[in-house]
Amino acid sequence: MTLYSLYIVDDEKLAREGLSMALQKDYRVKAFKDAESVMAAIKNEQPDLVLLDIGLPGITGIDALSHIKQNYPDTIVIMITAYEDIESVVATMKIGAYDYILKPFQINALLMTINNALETISLRKEIQHLQEKALQENQPVILGESNAIQSIMEVVEKVARSADTPILITGETGTGKELIAKAIHYRSPNYKGPLITLNCAAIPKDLIESELFGHEKGAFTGAADRGKHGMVEKASGGTLFLDEVGDLSTEAQAKLLRFLENGEFYKVGGTQSHKIKTRIVSATNRDLSKMMATNHFRRDLYYRLAVINIKVPSLNERREDILPIAKYFLNAYNKKFGKAFTHFSPETASSLINFQYTGNVRELKNLIERYSLLLSGPEMNIPEITPQTAAEGANVTLSSERTCHLPPLIPEGIDFPKVMRNIEKTYMMNALTITNGNESQASRLLNLSRDQFRYRIKAYR
């Protein structure tokens, strides 16, 4: 059974002793005669609950309450007053007091107030435990040791506490905007709800409205017979992450703005209003200020989306993060590919730090994955990192029998299916050459499942 700690702060000795006697059987009780002494004690041990007299000498109970809530927000404070001073009571409630009790004490009423407060603490701790578990199970890896990344994570911790405040994440491609959106979701009160992602750039503009808000039966040619729930509805009670939000059509922008303003939306082809609660986190690598200047993005929508704006710096702007990130990926691919790399050569480390990344963390990740497959440890020594090797990987010399030459397209035509089979066969043979016959690694190089790869290679063999 949890034994809660409770502090009593009252300048009247009889009140302190009476409360201590009544409560010490069920709680760990400490009593203090003034605010100064309890504020010193709370630095060493944070109690679960404080019974705090409003009318203290020296530092008043209201000032002490303000100090406690500012520095120890999880501590519940119940105010004590000798008379029902409404003005003072209202002031304490605004600061964050849980409740108040009147002198002389009615012991049953006092115990009921304390029990209710401690139930709140118990529920809060249970929620915190579940949230930490969910965060561990879905932990997004935000990589970096720079001040810029640490500052971003401090902002994430603060803004995540809200359940519905819209957040806009901006930054170049590959900087980890989606990871930050995940970090916000799993730290928010919505963590039990769904996290739904919609890439606005991947949906045709004439379908984006339907994807967002759904459609009714027969709303348009090809519409589902039973209608369809949109992403906004699927994310109810959770978070909707709109990636590449700058690609929304002007019509979809107008509907999204209406939803952000009052939580209401209409399905395509529908006349009934729907109302739900979900948090909108959006991201873009586009310059929305320029788009607003040319009327390609609504200014009023921008201000609704960017109540909080988190700008993620590029990898080139935080070079102190490059090697720690590269080492993280190196260890990850050691496990994935069964390799034994322990470090980068000094030349490779210098090249990694000084290379100009256009794809940011994603480009660095792909680079380490590629060379983890191609090279052998324990030292990773990449000969030269150039934009071409970063994009295409190392040059692997292949025999002429495993090189495919495309035939020219002549007026008489070509056997296109045969050409495509030859291309597929060539790539599969090359993948096996690069990976020394390891089918699992070869299938990863071609972005195929192991079964798909084996099916195809069996046919060619």
Residues 150-194: tens digit of each pLDDT? 888 888 888 888 888 899 999 998 888 988 898 888 888 888 888
Kindly provide the b/e burial profile for residues 297-307, where b requires at least 16 CB atoms within 10 angstroms of the residue's own CB: bbeebbebbbe
Alpha helices in 263-343 (DSSP H): 288-293, 299-305, 322-337
Per-residue pLDDT, 335: 86
pLDDT digits (tens, 9 = 90+) for 96-128: 888 888 888 888 888 888 888 887 777 666 545
> CA-CA distance, 380 to 377, in Å (whole number)?
6
Q: How far apart are CA 204 and CA 208, in angstroms?
A: 6
Residue 213 structure tokens? 């808000």
List strands edge to edge, sheet with 49-53.
28-32, 5-9, 49-53, 76-81, 99-102
Give residue 457's pLDDT: 78
Tell me how far apart the terminal alpha carbons of the chain are, to the nearest angstrom. Answer: 67
Q: What is the pLDDT of residue 405?
A: 57
Distance of CA 31 to the CA centre of its chain: 43
Ordered alpha helix ranges (H), 34-143: 35-41, 61-71, 86-95, 107-137
Q: Of the candidates 284, 363, 379, 283, which has an alpha carbon nearest to the alpha carbon of residue 322?
A: 363
Which among 1, 19, 24 is positioned nearest to 9, based on CA atoms? 19
31 DSSP β-pair partners = 8
Residue 187's DSSP bridge partners are none
- Residue 8: the pLDDT is 93
* Per-residue model confidence (pLDDT) at position 402: 46
141 vs 156: CA distance, rounded Å:
14
Peptide bond into 104 cis (omega under 30): yes
Query: Which string of b and e fits 137-159 if b means at least 16 CB within 10 Å?
Result: eeebebbbebeebeebeeebeeb
CA 375 to chain CA centroid, nearest Å: 34
Regions of the chain short of the pLDDT cut 50: 1, 127, 131, 134-135, 393-402
What is the model's pTM?
A: 0.56
Query: Cβ-count burial of 68 within 10 angstroms (0-12 exposed, 13-18 middle, 19+ buried)?
Result: buried
Of residues 428, 429, 434, 461, the one with CA closest to residue 446: 428
Strand 167-170 relative to strand 228-229, pairing:
unpaired
Q: Residue 362 corresponds to which amino acid?
A: R
